[in-house]
Chain A
Amino acid sequence: MATKPGALKVQKSEEALRLSPRGDLVASTVESLRSGMLKAIDGAQGPVVLDLGTARQIDSLGITLTLGLFKSCQKKGIGFSVEGVSPDILRVFRLFNLTRFFPIEEAAK
């Protein structure tokens, strides 16, 4: 069964806590994702990875959510990174200079 947009997949491993939202990070999804993601980070001991491999779009609310996750990790003293971003979403992150604060890895082509 296909996962609905806005669904969140949380994977814990020894290396990191991987958060993989389903679909775009936009106004219609961020609210439902926010609480799940923050809850997951709350219990994290190691670095957190936001996997945006399925996101085609991100809007300013999605950026805000990402920043919120980063700040939560920073507060806990654990690492935060974003992976699997499309080239266009990477452009957006770069536009707002977010690559200065946490690693953002483009999706493999």
Chain B
Amino acid sequence: MEFEGSMAESVFRALDTSLVGAAVLDAQGRVTAANRPLCDLLHAQESNVLGRNWSEFSPEGEPFRDGLGWATDPGDGARVPLEKCLRGADGCVARVRIEARPFRDSGGGVGGVLILVQDLTQQGGTPALLANSEERADLMLAAVEQSPASIVITDTSGAIEYVNPKFSELTGYAPEEVLGANPRILKSGLQPDSVYEELWKTITAGGTWRGQFSNRRKDGTLFWEEALIGPIFRGGRIAHFLAVKEDITARRELELSQRRLISALEFADESVAVCTTDGRLIQANKAFHHILGCECEVCPTQGMEDGKCRLLRFFRGPGKEILDAIQEGGLTAAQPLRLRTTWIRNMEEKALALAISASLVAEPGGEGQDLLVVIRDVTQEKEMEKHLRQVEKMDALGALAGGIAHDFNNILTAILSSAELMDWKLPEDSPLRPKLQIILQAANRAKELNRRILTFSRPAEEKRIPFDLSAVVRECAQLLQNTLPRSVVLQVNAGSSIWTVGDPGQVHQVVMNLALNGFQALSGGRGKLEITLVEAPSTLVLEPSGEAGAMCAVLRIRDDGTGMEEAVLAKVFEPFFTTKDPGEGTGLGLSVVHGIVRQQGGRIHIESAPGRGTLVTVELPSAAAQPTGEKKSNLASVQGKEHLLVVDLEDVRVALTKEGLQTLGYHVTAKGHPREALDAFREHPAIFDAVILSYRQGPIPAEEVARSIRKLRPRIPILLASGSAAALEEVGRTETLFDRVVPKPFGIEQIGRALRETLDSKAPEQKPVLDPTPKAGTQRGAVLVAEDSAVTLSLLSSWLGKAGFTVFPARDGREAWEIFTERGASAFAMVLTDFVMPRMDGMQLVERIREVDGEIPLVLLSSNVEKESLAAALHLQVNEFLAKPFEAEALVACVERLLSGAGARKRSTETVQAVRRAQKALVAEPERDMPIYSVHQSLTDAGGDVFRCFKQADGSILFILADVAGHSVISSYAVAAFLGLLSSLVGDFRSPLQLARRLSRGILEGPFSEVPICAAIGFWTPATGRLHVLNAGLPHGLISGPSGCRRIALNGTPLGIFDQPLVEEKVLMLKEGDRILFGSDGVFEAQDGDGRFFEDSAGEAWCAVRTTLSVDAAVAHMADAARAMTGGVLKDDLLAVGFEQPALATGDLRVELDSSPEAIDAAVEQLEARVQAGPRSIPLTRSRAFDILTCAREALTNAAAHGNAGDPSKGIVLSAGWSVSPPSFRLAVVDEGLGFDLENLAPPEDPLSERGRGIPYIRHCASRVVMVGGELELVFEWEA
């Protein structure tokens, strides 16, 4: 094969990793490439081989051509390997076999020779490898086949003739898939055709093409190759093309990534630098160079003098902490360092605030670490922070000044008013007049000063009005005159009446800022400050004319201070630019001035030079002069005869205002409290012609007073006087409640003029002949509101008034009652009352109103009121509750609902009836099939009493008497909700207490939690006579037997009050014939003038009818007796429930005994017999029997001693019986007590204690122990 020169290099590269030594020599025999095996053979480093002439490796020093047997013409070059000796660098000699392959250069001449060298020394003889051409071919093939580079050989048309394994590995194509194909099968299409055309053109011309390809693998993925492609000559002609290619995909991606990173860093605002850990720059972005002013691409710190390298200065200054941290181990790769903000001066000596952070990063080789420094310029942020702090400070000062000014205004109003009054009343020749004039002048100056303070204190919204600029300049001059030191000569020429359009306040700020800047520029605080204002043709382009030359107001402020450099002058309007030291100036003054002037449609220009002072010229558009509004005193024009209502909390002011206005002829009613004023207005709303309110009205804001007044007189003129700028703005923004706002301080003439103008500008109002009683069609109804909180009362009045109701406010129950009785019940559509109030509370008010009017809707406003009180209120037929706090919408909705007329009332009744009907459907099993009887008579259709009973599978009867508070629609819904709840809970009934708890929780979580429900729950087992009763607020029960009648005394709180209702329970063991009567309040609270039914006669009556009437007739009799007690007029729902204990079943042992020890012995004896007579299926041991009997003894002893309190006459009932399934013995002991909490009984800690062993012993022996309402139940179980 003949090679072109670069191809020889490619082949050499292919052989680079082979075991055969290889080298490329140029035409002069100099080594241009040598692989490692050859270097090893020569005992030399590659660097010691390259560039040397091959003849130097000949021990005999023969010329290299001779040594290689190389003919001049590569085409005729020696092919025969030669055995030679080579001398290595250290003088050693190796015997080698050399085969030389000459190649051409790009011009076709002799380019050099590729030599292959095989060490024969170690083989101990002549090697076979290169012995013949076949072997040589094998060697070449092996070298190519094992090459780490991808090698492709094509014919001259480009058809692939050979690919090596690396090609297949890289492309995914097997050799047989590509042989005969053109390499273009790899083309990705991402490179222009010109690349391939250039390639083809080069290699067909005998040259070598070097370049990169974007190719596509067989699986479609892209990869990049670097290729060297050239021709292979045979017989002087191109016979093939050889391509040697290297996969550079990873390298390219890395390079790309680096380029992206470098680009990103170059464009980043942050300054980033990589340095050595001793502070020498390795690489930095532009921002870094800029911020530090470094001009070196590569750090030249070594050898540079201190002070010249900015980086060095940085690391010796603000960055010193970084290098120190590295030294001290405080900065590591895992622990970056953030320095506190540092101020430096950059190249332009501009102060910069820098946030600096540093971290260590590993060098690419992993052998060391580099220092990464990131610097962020936070100058603007710091300036902004400073500015904001300044703004906050100024805001605070402004608010303070505003507050002071407001109070000052009030004082000045009094002074001015008094002085004016004196002025009017003093004789013309009074010697006091000069003094009075001084007072007036001083007060007016103070008024003006205060106005300025107020202007300063509030950031006014931008205005655009015509104003006298010369007046503003004079005002500023006056301020400056008072504040500048005497060393400053202030010269002001403001002309007269030069008008412009804009915001006077902002222009005031412009003049002051510029003048103060001028003063600060004066050297040593001494010099001249000149302010002139003239009207002249514009030299600048002004809006809105857009042309130079138009007439404008020209303001010039000149100082003869230090002046400015041109560089500084160029930046003076930039925000935050300041020549002052850090912390001394915000750099915002001139930028704000610039912004204001442009906003006003003007222009600003500065001329300055060092040592020549500064001239600032501001041009603002001219405007036509406006009338000044100043009026000469003309008392006649402000006089009047109208009737005014004047309200002010300050006695002095209200008196002065009253006197002054009266002097002007007005009739004045003055009030020192807004409530009094409102009362007066409501009393006679038609007599007033105008109202003057002061902004600070104390408990009721002026807006609220105005709204209340407008409710009655929508168009009456209302003037607001205020000394608070903020208040004026606030009032002005809200609504047109006020016809005019008069700023304080004012004199009588001023307020008189404002009043006169307002009265004259308003069309005459047709005054209503107003009676608080609502007129049909004009108002939605009158509402009496009793509320002791002035604020709440005002709010309620406002809300209801806004909704169109006429409100009669009352400050407590007694006042409300007085209004109610005075005007009559028919005057009001409804009453709203607070609960707790002085003199007469809401309940008393409701009670009184209900006595005379059972229909008028009553709404109770409650806050943290006891549920019992709410229940009582419901009994008084309060229609609605509103829990405080509530929204206006809720209040109005409630009132509207109740006042929505007869139709709504009818709908309400229908609703109640529907609820009633629904109630009947809610409970599946009514009481009619059970031996329990009831009489029920409702007071109204709404709410009321409920009785339900349910029969259990074992014949026991669960019954509930419930009294739902109130008789309103809500009460009816509460009844329905209660019954629904009951229906869902009785299916899982376990005990009255469990049921009561679940009902209580259900009520609390239900939609009518505000309606508590009193209930008596009973669980009666007719077979055993066991009656378990629980009381939740319905304590009225009687039991009658042969020995008489007694009460069932139980305490309890209504359901829905607590999650866990506080109730008492009791278990009664009824004897045959015992009769029980339960009743609701309607029965037992029935009363006449002399007494109560329950207290006086119920027991006797119930006992009396025991033997004469059947139980159902007896219950009806009791109901009749209750009705009779009330004279036939029910005070509440009437519900009476009764039943009689039938004969007891005989299955179980039942022993009734007294509380004596002997009776206990006898009972235990009977019990022993029953125990011993247990079923055979249950294995009863002697010990178990002992345990049962001992426990029974303990239970009986406990009942006698504790339940019955040792009273031997009190009874105990012992009942016991066996149960086969599950195998058990049940024993119950019932006394006349209420039981106790077993859980709190623990065995005595002292083993020698002589007490407290009974219950622990029972617990030890019995499988289950339950104590409920005087009944101790024990169960002894056996395993089935």
| Interface pair A28/B1158, CB less than 8 Å apart | yes
Which A-chain residue is minimally distant from B1182 (CB atoms)?
Answer: A88
Chain B residues within 8 Å of A67, by CB: 1248-1250
**With A28-B1158, A95-B1260 given, is the CB distance from A59 to B1194 under 8 Å?**
yes
- Tell me, in angstroms, the Cα distance from A59 to B1160 when the chains sit together: 12
Given A28-B1158, A87-B1183, A97-B1247, A92:B1197 Cβ within 8 A? no
Given contacts A60-B1254, A101-B1247, contact A91 B1183 (CB under 8 A): yes
Please indicate the chain A residues that have their CB under 8 angstroms from the CB of B1248 in the complex. Answer: 67, 70-71, 101
Q: Quick one: which of A58, A61, A64, A67 has the most chain B CB within 10 A?
A: A61
- Verify B1157–A27 contact, CB threshold 8 A: yes
- A92 and B1190 contacting across the interface, CB-CB below 8 Å: yes
CB nearest neighbor in A for B1244: A96
B contact patch SS = helix
A26 CB contacts on chain B under 8 angstroms: 1157, 1161, 1193
Cβ of A68 under 8 Å from chain B = yes
With A and B bound together, what is the CA distance between A56 and B1249 in angstroms?
A: 23
Residues of A within 8 A of B1251 (CB): 64
Q: Is the CB of A60 within 8 A of B1189?
A: no
Instruction: Kindly state whether residue A57 has any CB partner on chain B within 8 Å.
Output: yes
Cα A68 to Cα B1254 with chains together (Å): 17
Query: What is the 8 Å Cβ interface bit string for chain A, positions 50-86, against chain B (1 contact, 0 not)?
Result: 0000001111110110011011000000000000000
Task: State whether B1197 touches A60 (Cβ < 8 A).
Answer: yes
- CB contact list, B1154-1209 vs A, under 8 A: 1157-1158, 1160-1161, 1164, 1182-1183, 1186-1187, 1189-1190, 1193-1194, 1197, 1200
Contact of A61 among B1161, B1189, B1197, B1247 (CB under 8 A): B1197
A86: min CB distance to chain B, Å: 8
With an 8 Å Cβ cutoff, the count of chain B residues facing the other chain is: 24
Are A60 and B1183 in contact (CB-based, < 8 A)?
Answer: no
For A87, give the chain B residue with the smallest CB separation: B1183
Smallest CB gap from B1161: residue in A:
A28
Name the A residues within 8 Å of B1186 (CB-CB). Answer: 56-57, 88
- Contact residues in B for A98 (Cβ distance below 8 Å): 1247
Q: List 13 A-B contacts (CB under 8 A).
A: A28-B1158, A31-B1157, A57-B1164, A59-B1194, A60-B1197, A63-B1253, A64-B1250, A70-B1248, A88-B1187, A92-B1257, A96-B1247, A101-B1247, A101-B1248
**Among the listed A59, A95, A100, which residue makes an inter-chain contact with B1254, where contact means beta carbons less than 8 Å apart?**
A59
How far apart are A99's CB and chain B's nearest CB, in angstroms? 10
A88 CB contacts on chain B under 8 angstroms:
1182-1183, 1186-1187
A97→B1161 CA distance, assembly (Å): 27
Which residues of the other chain, A, contact B1158 by a CB distance below 8 angstroms? Answer: 28
Find chain B residues with CB under 8 A from A97 CB: 1247
- Bound-state CA distance A61–B1254 (Å) is 9
Query: How close is A15's CB to chain B, nearest CB, in angstroms?
Result: 26
Closest 5 CB pairs of A and B: A28-B1157, A88-B1186, A60-B1254, A60-B1253, A27-B1157
Please determine whether B1250 and A59 come into contact, CB atoms closer than 8 angstroms: no
Q: How far is the CA of A71 from the CA of B1246 in the complex (A)?
A: 13
List, in ascending order, chain A residues with CB within 8 A of B1200's CB. 27
Most-contacted residue by chain B among A57, A58, A60, A87 (CB, 10 A): A60
Q: Distance (Å) between the CB of A35 and the closest chain B CB?
A: 16
Chain A residues at the B interface, C-beta cutoff of 8 Å: 26-28, 31, 56-61, 63-64, 67-68, 70-71, 87-88, 91-92, 95-98, 100-101
* B1253–A96 CB distance below 8 A: yes
A19–B1099 alpha-carbon span in the complex (Å): 55
Q: How far is the CB of A26 from chain B (nearest CB, A)?
A: 6
Task: Report A-chain residues with C-beta under 8 Å of the C-beta of B1194.
Answer: 59-60
Q: Collect the chain A residues with CB atoms within 8 Å of residue B1260's CB.
A: 95
A56–B1160 alpha-carbon span in the complex (Å): 16
Contacts of A57 in B (CB 8 A): 1164, 1186, 1189-1190, 1193
- In chain B, positions 1216-1271 with a C-beta closer than 8 Å to chain A are 1247-1251, 1253-1254, 1257, 1260
How far is B349's CA from A76's CA once the two chains are assembled, in angstroms? 108
A27 touches B1197 (CB 8 A): yes
**A103-B1249 Cα distance, complex, nearest whole Å:** 18
Count: A-B pairs, CB below 8 Å: 59
Please, how many angstroms separate the alpha-carbon atoms of A56 and B1187 in the complex?
A: 11
Once the chains bind, are B1160 and A27 in contact (CB under 8 Å)? yes
B1260 to chain A, nearest CB (A): 6
* Chain B residues whose C-beta falls within 8 Å of the C-beta of A92 in the assembled complex: 1190, 1257
| Per-residue A-contact encoding for B86-127, CB less than 8 Å = 1, 0 else | 000000000000000000000000000000000000000000
Q: Are A68 and B1250 in contact (CB under 8 A)?
A: yes
The answer to whether A59 touches B1193 (Cβ under 8 A) is yes
- Contacts A27-B1197, A64-B1250, A64-B1251 known; A95 to B1257 CB distance under 8 Å? yes
Considering the chains assembled together, what is the distance between the CA atoms of A30 and B826 in angstroms?
80
B1183 touches A58 (CB 8 A): no
A75 to chain B, nearest CB (A): 12
Q: How far is the CB of A68 from chain B (nearest CB, A)?
A: 6
CA distance A102 to B291 in the complex (A): 99
| Contact mask for chain B residues 193-217; partner A; CB cutoff 8 A; 1 contact, 0 none | 0000000000000000000000000
A65 smallest CB distance to B (angstroms): 9
* Closest residue on chain A to residue B1253 by CB atoms: A60
A59-B1194, A68-B1250 known; A28-B1257 Cβ under 8 A: no
C-alpha gap A100/B1161 in the complex (Å)? 30
Taking a contact as CB atoms under 8 Å apart, the answer to whether A59 and B1247 are in contact is no
Distance, CA A96 to CA B1249, complexed state (A): 10
**B1252 — nearest CB in chain A belongs to which residue?**
A60
Chain A residue numbers with a CB within 8 Å of B1157 are 26-28, 31
Chain B residues with CB under 8 Å of A70's CB are 1248
Chain A residues closer than 8 Å to B1250, beta-carbon distance: 64, 67-68
In the complex the two chains form, what is the Cα distance from A48 to B1182 in whole Å?
A: 30
Other-chain residue from A31, A58, A68, A96 in contact with B1190 (beta carbon distance below 8 A): A58
Bound Cα distance A85, B1182 (Å):
15
Instruction: Collect the chain A residues with CB atoms within 8 Å of residue B1254's CB.
Output: 59-60
Q: Which residues of A contact B1187 (CB under 8 A)?
A: 88
Which single residue of chain A is at the shortest CB-CB distance from B1193? A59
Name which residue of chain A comes closest to B1248, CB basis.
Answer: A67
Chain B, 632-673, CB within 8 A of any chain A CB = none
* Distance in Å: Cβ of B402 to nearest Cβ of chain A: 84
Q: Which chain B residues border A91 with CB–CB below 8 Å? A: 1183
Q: Which chain B residues lie closer than 8 Å to A31 at the CB level?
A: 1157
Closest to B1189 in A: A57
Whole-angstrom distance between the Cβ of B1252 and the nearest chain A Cβ:
8
* Residue in B1158, B1248, B1257 with the greatest tally of chain A CB atoms within 10 Å: B1248
* Cα separation A68 to B1248 with both chains bound (whole Å): 9
* Alpha-carbon separation in the docked complex, A100 to B1248 (Å): 10
CA distance A91 to B1247 in the complex (A): 15
The answer, among B1182, B1183, B1190, for a CB contact under 8 Å with A59, is B1190
Q: With A and B bound together, what is the CA distance between A100 and B1160 in angstroms?
A: 31
Chain B residues, CB < 8 A from A87: 1183
Expressed in whole angstroms, the minimum distance between the Cβ of A40 and any Cβ of chain B is 19
Task: Name the residue of chain A whose CB is nearest to the CB of B1191.
Answer: A59
Q: Give the docked Cα–Cα distance between A31 and B1160 (Å).
A: 15
Residues of B within 8 Å of A28, CB to CB, are 1157-1158, 1160-1161
Instruction: Give Cα A98 to B1186, complex, Å.
Output: 19
Nearest CB in chain B to that of A26: its residue: B1193
When distances are taken between beta carbons in the complex, the residues of chain B under 8 Å from A64 are 1250-1251, 1253
In angstroms, Cα B1182 to Cα A27, docked, is: 22
Distance (whole angstroms) from the CB of B1165 to the closest CB of chain A: 11
Q: Which residue of A27, A60, A71, A100 is within 8 Å of B1257 (Cβ)?
A: A60
How far, in Å, is B249 (CB) from chain A's closest CB?
Answer: 89
In the complex, A56 Cα to B1186 Cα: how many Å? Answer: 8
Complex Cα gap A31–B1158 (Å) = 12
Please, how many angstroms separate the alpha-carbon atoms of A56 and B1164 in the complex?
Answer: 13
Across the interface, which residues of A come within 8 angstroms of B1253, CB to CB? 60, 63-64, 96
Residue of B1250, B1251, B1254, B1260 with most partner-chain A CB within 10 A: B1250
In the assembled complex, the Cα of A95 lies from the Cα of B1194 at a distance in Å of 15
